Amino acid sequence: MDFRRGLILGVMDILLLSELTFAIWYAHFEMEVVLWRFLQVFLPLVIITILGTRWAFRRWAPKVKVTAEEAARQPWRPVHMFGALGHDPNPPRRDS
């Protein structure tokens, strides 16, 4: 894995754990409505973190292009699995 991808994932993990800890701490003050208080704090923060992580991946993480030959040499990498309706996300180029 690339260093920047690992850094983005590490920051996201730390943020999610700190948001979870803060939401539990915030919710424990009113035990009658503990679930509502927890969700009131945790869900918006998680949504912001996930959207920020997606933005960071698109902006800073390197793009990875894999040819069909490279994918065939790597048995752990799924091929023809993640395209629109199962099509190959990296279609071969036509040389004209």
94 vs 30 pLDDT, higher one: 30
pLDDT value at position 77?
55
* pTM score over 0.75: no
pLDDT of residue 89: 59
The structure tokens listed for 55 are 């933005």
What span, in angstroms and rounded, lies between the C-alpha atoms of 83 and 64?
Answer: 15
pLDDT in tens, 17-59: 999 999 999 999 999 999 999 999 999 999 999 999 999 988 8
**What pLDDT, on the 0 to 100 scale, is given for residue 52?**
95
> CA-CA distance, 48 to 27, in Å (whole number)?
19
